[in-house]
C-alpha cells in the first residue's frame, strides 16, 4: 500500500460501515481540527493492522514487485500497474474498484515558465490527445485516457481489463479528490510519516520510532554504462535524526535510498553506517527484495 491514500481508504471504509462518520472523508477538507480528529482514528486502525503490510510502495515498479516477489496477496494500488499485471499474468492478478469508491484524479500536462520551444510542446500535446494516439498509451500503461474515443481504439485486452476492474457501480462511485486547502498537505504528511515510522501494533498516540544509525555517503555515484543516475553525493545523517530527501521526479531520490539500503552497489564513493563501510554487504537478511520507501516525499 501507499501510506497516505491508505489512510484515506481506511476512512472511507470506516465511514461506510458506520464506525466513523466523515461524509466519506470530505469533512477532512473543511478544517484542520476536524481533519485531525478523523485521521487519528484512521491512524489508530492502520497501526493496529500494520503487521499485515508486506510492503509500502511509491511507484509502479515497487507495486509490481510487492506481488511478483514479496508475497503480497491483496493491496491498494493504482489501476494502471494492476491492469498491466492482469495482462501479463493472464488474469492471475486483477484490479477491482472498491465499493466505497476508487480514489480518483485526472493527470494533465503543463509547460514550465521560460521554455523556448512552446510551439513544439503544444504540437506534441495536440498529437498525444488525438484518440488514435492516446490509444497507443492506454494498453502500454494500463491507465485510462482522458481523450474521448481512445478507449474504443485501445483493443480487446484493454476493454476486458476495464470491464473486470470497474463493475456497474464503479464509475458512479468514483471518489474524486477535492481541492486541497493550504494546510492540508502538511497535516496529511504528518500522519503519513507517523504511520510509516510506527511499530506494528503500537498505539497511535504513543508511536515508537526506530532510532537509525549514523549514515554517511562520501562522493557516491551510480552509473549505468555511460549514464550517471546520481554522482558526487555527500550526505551525513546523524543517529536519531529525522531526515527528508526532497526533489523533483527523476532526480535520484529512489536511487540514493536503494544505495543506502544495499539493494544496489555504488559505482564510486563510500557508504558508511555507524562508521562501517557497507559496500558489498547487500541488504540485511530477511528484508524484502524491494524495500519500502525510507524517505517519502510529496508530489
Q: Are residues 79 and 52 in the same domain?
A: yes
Domain boundary among 204, 227, 244: 204
Which CA distances in Å does 232 have to 42, 112, 235, 245? 41, 27, 10, 16
What band does 282 get if pLDDT is binned at 50, 70 and 90? low
pLDDT digits (tens, 9 = 90+) for 207-255: 333 333 478 888 888 988 888 888 888 888 877 777 788 888 788 888 8
Domain boundary among 204, 238, 267: 204
What residue has cell string 494546510?
183
Q: What is the mean pLDDT of residues 57-75?
A: 86
Q: What is the mean pLDDT of residues 102-122?
A: 89
Residue (of 143, 68, 71) closest to 108 by Cα position: 143
Task: Identify the pLDDT of residue 290.
Answer: 46
Q: Are residues 155 and 64 in the same domain?
A: yes
> Which has the higher per-residue pLDDT, 240 or 69?
69
Q: Are residues 242 and 172 in the same domain?
A: no
Q: Are residues 159 and 257 in the same domain?
A: no
User: Does 51 fall in a domain?
Assistant: yes
209 close to 197: Cβ distance less than 8 angstroms: yes
> Which has the higher per-residue pLDDT, 280 or 76?
76
CATH number at residue 265: 3.40.50.300
Question: What global pTM score does this model have?
Answer: 0.65
Q: Are residues 79 and 197 in the same domain?
A: yes
Q: What is the mean pLDDT of residues 160-175?
A: 91
Domain ranges, residue 249? 215-277
Q: Are residues 77 and 161 in the same domain?
A: yes
User: Does 296 fall in a domain?
Assistant: no
Q: Are residues 272 and 177 in the same domain?
A: no
Q: Are residues 196 and 88 in the same domain?
A: yes
Q: What is the domain count for the chain?
A: 2
Q: What is the mean pLDDT of residues 195-201?
A: 78
Q: Are residues 178 and 228 in the same domain?
A: no
* Per-residue pLDDT at 262 exceeds 90: no
Q: Are residues 157 and 93 in the same domain?
A: yes
* Per-residue pLDDT at 295 exceeds 60: no
Q: Are residues 91 and 171 in the same domain?
A: yes
76 close to 195: Cβ distance less than 8 angstroms: no
Residue (of 243, 235, 242) closest to 217 by Cα position: 235
Residue (of 290, 291, 268) closest to 218 by Cα position: 268
| Average confidence score pLDDT of the chain | 84
Domain boundary among 174, 204, 234: 204
User: Does 291 fall in a domain?
Assistant: no
User: Does 122 fall in a domain?
Assistant: no
Residues across the chain: 299
* Per-residue pLDDT at 30 exceeds 50: yes
Q: Are residues 55 and 187 in the same domain?
A: yes
User: Does 177 fall in a domain?
Assistant: yes
pLDDT digits (tens, 9 = 90+) for 71-87: 889 999 988 888 888 88
Amino acid at each position: 500500500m501507499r501510506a497516505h491514500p491508505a489512510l484515506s481508504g481506511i476512512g472511507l471504509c470506516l465511514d461506510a460501515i458506520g464506525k466513523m462518520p466523515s461524509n466519506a472523508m470530505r469533512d477532512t477538507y473543511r478544517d484542520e481540527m476536524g481533519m485531525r480528529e478523523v485521521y487519528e482514528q484512521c491512524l489508530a486502525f492502520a497501526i493496529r493492522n500494520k503487521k499485515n503490510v508486506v510492503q509500502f510502495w511509491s511507484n509502479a515498479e515497487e507495486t509490481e514487485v510487492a506481488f511478483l516477489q514479496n508475497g503480497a496477496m491483496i493491496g491498494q494500488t493504482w489501476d494502471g500497474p494492476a491492469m498491466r499485471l492482469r495482462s501479463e499474468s493472464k488474469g492471475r492478478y486483477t484490479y477491482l474498484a472498491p465499493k466505497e469508491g476508487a480514489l480518483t484524479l485526472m493527470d494533465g500536462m503543463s509547460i514550465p515558465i521560460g521554455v523556448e520551444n512552446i510551439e513544439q510542446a503544444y504540437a506534441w500535446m495536440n498529437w498525444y490527445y488525438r484518440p488514435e494516439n492516446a490509444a497507443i498509451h492506454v494498453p502500454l500503461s494500463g491507465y485510462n485516457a482522458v481523450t474521448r474515443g481512445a478507449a474504443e481504439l485501445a483493443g480487446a485486452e484493454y476493454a476486458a481489463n476495464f470491464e473486470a476492474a470497474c463493475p456497474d457501480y464503479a464509475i458512479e462511485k468514483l471518489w474524486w479528490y477535492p481541492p486541497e486547502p493550504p494546510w492540508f498537505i502538511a497535516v496529511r504528511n504528518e500522519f503519513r510519516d507517523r504511520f510509516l515510522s510506527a511499530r506494528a501494533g503500537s498505539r497511535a498516540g504513543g508511536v515508537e520510532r526506530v532510532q537509525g544509525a549514523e549514515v554517511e555517503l562520501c562522493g557516491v555515484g551510480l552509473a549505468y554504462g555511460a549514464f550517471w543516475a546520481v554522482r558526487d553525493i555527500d550526505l551525513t545523517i546523524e543517529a536519531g535524526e529525522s531526515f527528508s530527501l526532497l526533489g523533483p521526479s527523476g532526480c535520484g531520490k529512489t536511487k540514493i535510498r536503494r544505495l543506502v539500503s544495499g539493494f544496489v552497489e555504488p559505482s564510486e564513493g563510500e557508504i558508511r553506517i555507524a562508521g562501517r563501510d557497507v559496500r558489498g554487504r547487500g541488504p540485511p537478511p530477511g528484508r524484502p527484495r524491494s524495500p519500502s520507501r525510507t524517505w517519502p516525499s510529496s508530489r
